[in-house]
């Protein structure tokens, strides 16, 4: 069975600082996708970044980057230069090709002015 764990229910960071959100997962598959989704107060799910497991290079999208450690089954998200608009719930998710998405429990991030 696939599982996704986010061990930090809540985090806060000062504006302009850097924060890292943790995610670990478990799967028996070798090929899969990993995602970070953001859910702001509007509750619209927004894709932040995705990583293909067969790619060793860590994905980067502007201020967002991941540290993908396949052997350790770890997939952390780093947000640089945090902005007030980054305040949201962040969900880590795993998709085994052909199976369904599994979402982690989420981390509530608050960016403080």
Binding stretches for other proteins (CB under 8 A): 33, 35, 42-45, 47, 50, 52, 91, 95, 97-98, 100-106, 108
**Closest separation in Å from C-beta 16 to other proteins:** 27
Question: What's the distance, Cα to Cα, between the start and end of the chain in Å?
Answer: 41
- Count of residues in the chain: 113
The answer to whether the beta carbons of residues 34 and 22 sit under 8 Å apart is no
E strand intervals along 1-113: 3-5, 10-14, 19-21, 24-26, 32-39, 46-52, 60-61, 64-69, 74-79, 88-96, 102-103, 107-112
Token pair in block for residue 81: 């230069």
**Closest separation in Å from C-beta 104 to other proteins:** 7
**Closest separation in Å from C-beta 105 to other proteins:** 5
Closer to other proteins by Cβ: residue 19 or 53: 53
Closer to other proteins by Cβ: residue 44 or 113: 44
**Closest separation in Å from C-beta 83 to other proteins:** 21
Closer to other proteins by Cβ: residue 15 or 52: 52
């Amino acid at each position: 069975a696939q599982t996704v764990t986010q061990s930090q229910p809540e985090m806060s960071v000062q504006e302009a600082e850097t924060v890292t959100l943790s995610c670990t997962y478990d799967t028996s598959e070798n090929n899969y996708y990993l995602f970070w989704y953001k859910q702001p107060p509007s509750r619209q799910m927004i894709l932040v970044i995705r990583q293909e497991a067969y790619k060793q290079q860590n994905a980067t999208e502007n201020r967002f980057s991941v540290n993908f450690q396949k052997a350790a089954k770890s997939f952390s998200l780093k947000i640089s230069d945090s902005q007030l608009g980054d305040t949201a719930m962040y969900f880590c998710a795993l998709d085994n090709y052909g199976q369904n998405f599994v979402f982690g429990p989420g981390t509530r991030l608050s960016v403080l002015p």
